[in-house]
Amino acid sequence: MTSLASRSAPLTVRTESGAVVLELGDTLDERTGGVLVDAVASAVATTPERVDIDLTALTGWTAQGATSLVQCREMCRGLPDGLHYRTGRGAGREALLAAYR
């Protein structure tokens, strides 16, 4: 496992068995959503098997932040195993459900 960003960033990026994992912390707002979209674009350029977006550590979200999740799905369509979301109960799950309403 390789860490590519510090824990103080709104997003950490690592690789796991052919997947790029992007882990969000704190709040998924417009700013963090923009960082996420940029990170997914960079990840897709490396042609991994798939991209995972981990939402389990989110504590909050905004509508603008949630829309970034849909943008990320579109960018990952060409990957062999596509995009996967990791959620549990709470804000991450709520943001994902709101994104696809």
Q: Where are the domains of the chain?
A: 2-99
Burial class (CB in 10 A: 0-12, 13-18, 19+), 95: buried
**Model pLDDT for residues 14-54, shown as the tens digit of each residue:** 999 999 999 999 999 999 999 999 999 999 999 999 999 99
| Separation of alpha carbons 17 and 34, rounded Å | 26
Question: What is the CATH topology of the domain spanning 2-99?
Answer: Transcription Regulator spoIIAA (3.30.750)
Share above pLDDT 90 across residues of the chain, in percent, rounded to a whole number: 88
What pLDDT score was predicted for residue 11? Answer: 93
68 pLDDT exceeds 80? yes
What pLDDT score was predicted for residue 10? Answer: 83
Q: Is the pTM of this model over 0.95?
A: no
